[in-house]
Structures are given as structure tokens and as C-alpha cells.
Structure 1
Amino acid sequence: MKHGQLATKELAEFVRERAAIEETYSKSMSKLAKMASNGSPQGTFAPMWDVFRVSSDKLALCHLELMRKMNDLIRDINKYGEEQVKIHRKTKEEMVGTVEAVQALQVQSGHLQKSKEGYHAKCLELDRLRKEGAPQKELEKAELKSKKAAESFGLCIEKYNRVGGEFEQKMSESAQKFQDIEEAHLRQMKQLIKGYSHSIEDTHVQVGQVHEEFKQNVENIGIDNLIQKFAEQKGTGKERPALAGFEEYMTALAPEGGKKSRAKAFRIPGLVHAQTRKQWGLYHEAC
């Protein structure tokens, strides 16, 4: 179970590193978009910088969104890690009986081995006495010891088998419990990885759409459009200037022989001389 907790922590660290990479990438694309916005506004190519700026901004947003999804996934992993610790703690409490069964079997195994060695030693001693032709009384005494050792060994075997049966039952239950926990752990980890995979897949789809939009925008802005837009911005008007005609030079004639020329009276438009008005009035009365 401790390996499961370690795997959960390592997965969280991995996703955290991926989120940091996406954040760095997003910032780099934002910087690139700013660079495009600072492109020279002069010349026929100038409108293309706006296409680069929009595309870079959208890519930055795509990777920023992926970073947020990674952070959400980290929270889910950490939450699972906390639940995992609680499950493991509860399982350890439930395994107390299994631990006691293991300890009991270890103790009984030691007793059984000791009893077996004692029984074999007594039998070996009895065989030696028989081969050496020991007195009957000494043989009977050795036989009694061998018999008692056999009985003790038999009791140890019986107890060992009983403890072994309890151990087997507890271990079987515990092993099933451990397997259930590991299967649930692997299912949860795969579910988290699936979320990781889907987030990246969605971002790749969005990035592909941005690239496709960029390609279409570049294709839609034709050379004629760029030149026309430049002409509209820099042009001085659509009307052609009027054709110029030859104007003959007119000179002012100077007075001859000192004669004074009669100058025309200066008149203000709309202003009629008083005498003229009087003549016009007599004329109308006669009529």
C-alpha cells in the first residue's frame, strides 16, 4: 500500500511540472503576440502582423487553459491521496488479527522445530544404547523419554496445524482485501490519467483550430488586398487633378505723352448712384 501512496505523490509532481511547462509556454506566446503587435505599421505587409498577433494570443489562451486544467487535476490527485491515506489507516486497523496470526504461527513454528529436534535426539540416544547393549533399566528409561518426546512433538504438530489454519484464513482474507485496495487504486489512477489525456487532447484540437484559422486568414488576405489597403491609407484622393491651360499674359498700358487716362469710377456692387435712381424713377412714372 505504501507504494500506492508514493505513486500518487509522484503523479501529482509530474502533472505539476506539466502545468509549469504550459504556463511558461503561454507566457512565451503572449510575449510573441506583443512582438507582433509592435511590428512596423509601414508598408504593404503591415496588416499581416495583426494576423500573427491574433493567432499568438489564441495559442497563449489555449495553453493557459491547459495549465488550469492541470492544476484542477492536481487538486483531484491530492484529494485522492488524502482518501487513500484514510483507507490504508483503516485497513491496518482491520489487519490486527492477521498480524497476531502471523506472530502466533512464527512462535509455534519455533516450538515445533525445537520439539522435533528434542524428539529426534531422544530417539537417537535410544538407538545408541541399544547398539551398545546397555542395561535393560537404562533402555526402559531411554524409551520412556523418547515416548514423552514423541507425545510432546505430536501436540506441537497439532497446535501448529491449528494456528496454521487460522493464519491461512486470516491471510486469505487480508490478501483479498489488499487486492481489492490495489485494484481500486489502479482504477482511480487510470481515471486520473484519462483526465490528463483528455485535457491534452482537447488543447491539441483547439491549437489545431487556431492554426487552421491562421492559415485561412493568410490565404484570404490577397496581395491585391494588401496593396489596395495601403493605397487607401496613403493615397491623396481619388479625383484626378484638372488639366492646366495656357493663360496669355496681359500687360497694363502706360499713359501716352503724359496724358491722364480717365479712370473708371469705383463702384461697390449693389450700390446705385443717387442720380441714376432718380432717372429710373422718372422713367417709371412716365410709363
Structure 2
Amino acid sequence: MSFQFKDNFWGPSGFETVEKRINEGTESTRLFVYFMKERASIEENYSKSLQKLLKNTQQLTEFGTLRDAWFAMRGEVETQIRVHHELGNKLVNDIAAPFSKFKSEQKKVKKGFLEDAYKLNRERKDMEQKISKSKVKYDDYSRQAEQMAVQMESAKSTKAASEIGKIQQKLQKLQREASLFEKDYRDYVGKLSAYQPQWEEKVSSTYHALQCTEEERIDYIKVQLEKYVQAINSTVPDTESINRNLIGVVASIDRFEDISLFVREAKTGSERPDPPVFVPFGGKASSEYISNKSTYSLTSSASSSSLGNLPPQPSTPPPSRSSAPPTKQARALYDYVGSDATELDFYTGDSIKVLEEDDSGWWKGELDGRVGLFPSNYCQVE
């Protein structure tokens, strides 16, 4: 089994899982640096407190054996002052300072990789949304044209020539619109299909880069902890035997083992999404234009919404529509401005009458006498 990020996080929440681990690693590094700085500060403050103690008791005067005992006590404290001052300096200069620099530099690098991932996600979501909208409109106009064609056939035996001519004009207009959206639909599907290999390569590259930063982080922390143990053992007398367990645990730090454990516990899947496919209009029995596998988002809804307060717009229409009860209302949770005349504009708090529901999330509704499509995840059913 491969334990590479690029082979195990292709599920819909794959990047979110990797991102969470990367961010946890960044926070852990910050706390390691904080620990070193605080330990150094504690050591230095303890050294200063002992110095103050000696200063405040330097007037103590004794004779003979008691004086000898007092001088021995002072000598022991002076040794402790030197030890803790030296340890504090080592922790600050040899560990905390370079550790802090590493943390800042790696945070910038990881931020760049994460931004690349968000961009990849946005590009694909935009393409899928264009496919979804053009598919909905293509199906809608095709369905209307199909119904108008039936009406045309019926009118031939019951209507006057002038009426038939009007119906024919409407039919031709609907057919033209359906043809235009069919072309858009085909074009968008073709663009995403052509982009798919490049997109997969970019995603793999991003995952690989993020894994490299995590491996680098683990290796660097291991080195700093080894320096930490060495600083204690070389400064504080008679501690090497006491710290034998700590020495062994630090020496056993293994980036491969840690990353493998994370992958085994958190992997979301190794199967890459299928490219989109064009599905011709099939009337009421029209099937989905794209398989579930191809509707892929590099980040899940939760991760994407972390970039803003709005939820992601639905991208994939369902195979069929089901009529909603005419009394069902949806209350807008966010403002929304439609991209064209087929979509509803609404503001937070507006109540939309639900006319039809789609599994894609693009529902048909009525607001203030206007009928159009709207993203259902911008609303809450009342």
C-alpha cells in the first residue's frame, strides 16, 4: 500500500483532511517553540532568583564549622546559578531562535501550497457549475420544445393556420434556445474533460508538496529535541541516566511511521474522479449528465466555506424533478444575485415559494411574482 498523500486523498473531503493535518502540524510546531522559549525563560529566571537570594544573604556571618557549612551552601547555589543560566542560554540561542525561524519560513511555504489547492478547487467547481447550469437550461428548453411539438401536432387538426403558425414560431424559438444551450453544455463538458489530466497532475503535485513539508517538519523537530536532550545532559550534572528513556524516545522519532499512521487512519480514497460526460436530453427519463464520481470538489463544503460565509452553490443537477407541495416555502439565509434571467435574485430573509426540487440543489421557485431557479443551500425550508 502506498502511503503518499497523492495516492490516498481523492475523496470529496480529501484535501480538507490533509489541510487539517497540515494546520495541526503548524500549531504543534508553534507550541514546541513556545515550550523551548518558556523553559529557557524559567531557567534564566530561576538563575536570577538564586543570584538575588545570595545577594540578600551575603551579610550572614558565622565562625568555624557553621561558617564552612554556609560557604558550602553558597557554593552549591552558585553552581546552580551557572547551570540554569547556561541551560537557558542554550535553549534560547541553539534551539528556540532557529526553531522559531523555521516555523515562520515553513508557514509561508505551506500557505502558498494551500492557496494553490484552493485555486484548483475553485477552477473545477466553476467548470462544474457552468456544466450544471447549461445542462439545466438545455433540458428545460428541450422539454418545452418537446411539449410544444406535441401541441403543434395536436393543433394541425384543430387550429387555424394562423394559430399553427404562431405555435410553429414558438417551437422554432425553443429549439434554437435548446440548441444554443446544448452547444454550451457540450463545450463546458469538453473543456473540463480536456482539463482533467492537467487538474489531476496539479492536485498530485500539491499533495506531494504538502507531504514534503510535513516530512521536513518531523525531521526538523527531531533534531531540535535531540539538541534539547543534549543541552540538558551536558549542562545539568548526573541527568544522563535519568533521561535515558527520553533519549530513546526522541531517537525513535520516524517520519515514515508517523505519516503512514496518519494515512492509514485518515485516507479518503485512492480512486480519482471520472471526467464529465455529455448526456443528450431524454425527456422525462433524462439521466444524469455526470456520474457521482465526476462531481468532485478538492475541498468539502466545510473547508470551502472557511474562505467565506456563503455556502458553495450546487453543481450537479439530478436525473429528474419531483414536484414540491405548493405550500412549501424556503427562507433565504444569504443574499443571492442570479447570473442571468433564469435565476432568482433574493435577499436574506426572503420567503421563496418552492415549485420544483432537484437533487442537484438547483430548485425552481417563485418570489414576488417571478419564477426561476435558485440554489437551495442558500435557503432553509420552513
TM-score (norm 2): 0.44
CA radius of gyration, larger in: 1
Residue in 2 that maps onto 1:191: 223
Match among 23, 28, 42 for residue 63 of structure 2: 42
In structure 2, the residue matched to 1:122 is 141
RMSD value, Cα: 3.8
Corresponding position: 1:62 with 2:94? no
1:77 equivalent in alignment to 2:96: no
- 1:178 aligned to which of 205, 210, 233: 210
Letter in 1 for 2:51: S
Query: 1:43–1:128: structure 2 CA closer, same or farther, 3 Å change rule?
Result: same
How far the C-alpha of 1:80 sits from its partner, in A, is 2.3
Q: After superposition, what is the alpha-carbon deviation per residue over 1:134-180, rounded to whole angstroms, capped at 9, x for unaligned? A: 55883973556545544442332122222233222211111111121
Q: How far does residue 208 in structure 1 lie from its aligned partner after superposition? A: 9.5
Residue matched to 1:52: 73
Contact 2:54 2:74 in 1 (8 A): yes
Distance change >3 Å, CA 148–CA 84, structure 1 → 2: closer
- Secondary structure of the corresponding residue to residue 20 of structure 1: helix
AA aligned opposite 2:185? F
Q: Structure 1 residue 22 and structure 2 residue 43: aligned?
A: yes
Contact (CA 8 Å) 1:19, 1:70: kept in 2 or not? yes
Tell me how far 1:15 sits from its aligned partner: 2.4
Percent identity over the alignment?
21
Equivalent residues in 2 for 1:102-117, closer than 5 Å: 102-117=121-136
Give 1 or 2: higher strand fraction: 2
CA spacing shift, 1:208–1:82, aligned 2, 3 Å? closer
Give structure 2 stretches of 5+ with no counterpart.
Answer: 1-21, 157-163, 242-382
Return the letter of the residue paired with 1:75.
A
Q: For residue 232 of structure 2, what is the amino acid of its counterpart?
A: I
SS across alignment from 1:125: helix
Q: What do residues 206-259 of structure 1 show as CA deviations (whole Å, max 9, x unaligned)?
A: 5799xxxxxxxxxxxxxxxxxxxxxxxxxxxxxxxxxxxxxxxxxxxxxxxxxx
Structure-1 separation of matches of 2:130 and 2:191: 10
- Contact 1:39/1:46 (<8 A) preserved: no
- Name stretches of at least 5 consecutive residues in structure 1 with no aligned partner: 210-287
Tell me which of the two structures has the higher relative contact order, counting C-alpha pairs closer than 8 angstroms and 6 or more residues apart.
1
Q: Could you tell me which residue of structure 2 aligns to residue 163 of structure 1?
A: 195
Under a length normalisation based on structure 1, what TM-score does the superposition of the two structures give?
0.56
Structure with more helix by fraction: 1
